[in-house]
Structure 1
Amino acid sequence: MNFRQIEAFRSVIISGTVSRAAELMGVTQPAVSRSITELEARVGFALFDRVKGRLIPTPEAQAFFRDVDASFVGLDRLRASAARIRDFGSGNIRVASLAALGSTLVPRAIRLFRDKFPTSVVTLNVMSSSAVRNHVADGEFDIGLAADEVDLTGVDHQVFGGFAAVCAIPRGHALAERSVIGPRDLDGVDYIALSPEDRARLRLAKICEEAGVRPRLVTETPNSATVCALALEGVGVGIVNPLSTDGFAARGLVFRPFKPDVEFKSHLLFRPDTQKARILRAFIAALLKARNTRPPLV
């Protein structure tokens, strides 16, 4: 089988008729019909039933189409990549980030980066830290930002930073009157926790255990921003990454320092065994600048 036969098959499936498929391909209807006939001979089963002049895909054709369509998705990505290189050059960066940084610090870094490289294209995907690590290790992203619980084997990495947690408190809550929150303040209080594997949660749990206190768990969620949203609704209080608090204070959520410090630590991850291009080093510099010049909590 050849590409033209596969393209004719896919075009007929998508468009529903041979005539429309011929228009999409820029060929004649007989050429499309001939390609379909040749492809059926190659695969060894009927692709369409001819019913009153119409081509109805057989069950075998529908199963075959799933793989055909997946291959065309790959071709579409290659076309898009070629278009980006043609229009902007090869200076593109693919970034994967955990949610705590991907919705706040990384966008600021992208703005700083594009001030110096206005023709570069940055692809940003927000996902879990474990997914960040896997995609970077597989070479699908150039750089990743992940929490410290992630497995660092198989990737190049460096510490990005540690950020002291703050307590997110609903407006009107008794704890909002305090200037600093400690573990004893959480005893018996409705508490919104991060995921059980989150290192910051584990650090807080150790502090509470040593203090002999036990917050009343009401909700679990993997993202600090979601903790803030839940606290804003009055569900409870939570210990969150300060980089996830943007905009919540203006909506009425109260933030207070938590002592002793509970750090949210993160790492920069890189594709293994690859030399860092100048443009990637420039993006890392933008990330560090965004980290060091982040806006105040409130």
Structure 2
Amino acid sequence: MNLRQIEVFRAVVTNGTTARAAEVLRISQPAVSKMIQELERTLGFPVFDRIKGRLRPTAEGQLFFREVEQAFTGLTELRSAAARIRDFGSGKLRIACLSALSTNIAPRALQQFAKRHPNIAVTLQTRTSSVARDLVASGQFDVGIVADEIDTTGIDARPFANFRVAIALPEDHPLTQKDIVRPEDLAGQRFIALSPEDTTRQEGEAAFERANITQHTVIETPFSTTICAMVAQGLGVGLVNPLTAEPYLGRGLVLRPFEPALHFRTLLIMPPNRPPSRILNDFISDLKNVIE
């Protein structure tokens, strides 16, 4: 049994006669009849009843035709996938993103990307930076947006964006009356902090030490969004990326500038030794557009 025999069988069922099938396939009618006979010998059962010179699918032929249609649907999908790969390099885009940018920068970039590539399937997973790094390094994901504390060995890493830190305060907190908040203003405050390995937290702790202020950390979390949620509930104060705080502004949370200036630094990472596809380059371009 070969693909040409299957194609002829499908054409006969679909068009009703060998003559019409031969016309569609641009082969002779005897060639169609011969391929049907060869197919039946291979299958071991008749696929057509021959009634007054016409072919009608047998019960077995009808069952076989259903399987053939499923197979041809798969072939159609393969052709579409091949076309996408030819035009774009891939029909899918897999993104791993740190939480702080997964609800703002990434969606805005994807909005632009979808306008240009509405048929590209996108997977976006919010992960810690270290997990995102491993997913990209192993080739499971095409690109990652991560914090700069990760190990960059074995990946293609390049600077992405820096975001100046702000202090998140409950909306009824006395420090909301200040235009700028400094470490000495936070003495004795309940502090909600990022994980110890976070470089922004480390720089913040260094600033507090220089001011001879001891932080009173009550909650640790790897996610800026969690800090914002906790602050909005009045559980403490915390240093956050202002972009992360956007959904909470006016909903229990207020931002104030923090000095000395601290920054969240992020990287764009990709698998090593793999040239980016056209769609990946387009997505990276959209990412850059939304942060400019």
Deviations 1:212-240 (A, max 9, x none): 11121111111111000000010010001
Residues 86 and 204 (structure 1), Cα distance of their counterparts in 2 relative to 1, 3 Å cut = same
Equivalent residue number for residue 182 of structure 2: 182
Equivalent residue number for residue 97 of structure 1: 97
Equivalent residue number for residue 239 of structure 1: 239
Query: Which letter maps to 1:244?
Result: T
Equivalent residue number for residue 217 of structure 1: 217
C-alpha separation in 2, matches of 1:274 and 1:172: 51
C-alpha separation in 2, matches of 1:158 and 1:272: 12
C-alpha separation in 2, matches of 1:83 and 1:128: 37
C-alpha separation in 2, matches of 1:97 and 1:239: 20
1:119 partner SS: coil
Residues 251 and 88 (structure 1), Cα distance of their counterparts in 2 relative to 1, 3 Å cut = farther
Residues 84 and 185 (structure 1), Cα distance of their counterparts in 2 relative to 1, 3 Å cut = farther
Deviations 1:67-119 (A, max 9, x none): xxxxxxxxxxx99x969837966332110011111122101110011111122
Equivalent residue number for residue 195 of structure 1: 195
Residues 279 and 217 (structure 1), Cα distance of their counterparts in 2 relative to 1, 3 Å cut = same
Query: Which letter maps to 1:85?
Result: A
Equivalent residue number for residue 170 of structure 1: 170
Q: Which moved more, 1:140-149 or 1:212-221?
A: 212-221
Query: Which letter maps to 1:97?
Result: C
Query: Which letter maps to 1:129?
Result: S
Tell me, yes or no, if the aligned pair for 1:88 and 1:121 is still in contact at 8 Å.
Answer: no
Unpaired runs of 5+ in structure 2? 1-73
Equivalent residue number for residue 147 of structure 1: 147
Structural RMSD (CA): 2.1
C-alpha separation in 1, matches of 2:260 and 2:183: 8
* TM-score, structure 1 normalization: 0.68
Residues 231 and 87 (structure 1), Cα distance of their counterparts in 2 relative to 1, 3 Å cut = farther
Aligned pair count? 214
Tell me, yes or no, if the aligned pair for 2:233 and 2:252 is still in contact at 8 Å.
Answer: no
* TM-score, structure 2 normalization: 0.70
Tell me, yes or no, if the aligned pair for 2:242 and 2:255 is still in contact at 8 Å.
Answer: no
Q: Which has the larger radius of gyration?
A: 2
Unpaired runs of 5+ in structure 1? 1-77, 293-298
Q: Is 1:85 the counterpart of 2:85 in the alignment?
A: no
1:161 partner SS: strand
C-alpha separation in 2, matches of 1:221 and 1:143: 24
Deviations 1:223-279 (A, max 9, x none): 111000000010010001122112111313100111111110010000110111121
Deviations 1:54-79 (A, max 9, x none): xxxxxxxxxxxxxxxxxxxxxxxx99
Deviations 1:171-223 (A, max 9, x none): 11111111111111111111111111111000000000011111211111111
C-alpha separation in 1, matches of 2:148 and 2:232: 27
Deviations 1:26-45 (A, max 9, x none): xxxxxxxxxxxxxxxxxxxx
Equivalent residue number for residue 53 of structure 1: none
C-alpha separation in 2, matches of 1:177 and 1:85: 58
1:290 partner SS: helix
Residues 234 and 83 (structure 1), Cα distance of their counterparts in 2 relative to 1, 3 Å cut = farther
C-alpha separation in 1, matches of 2:100 and 2:79: 32
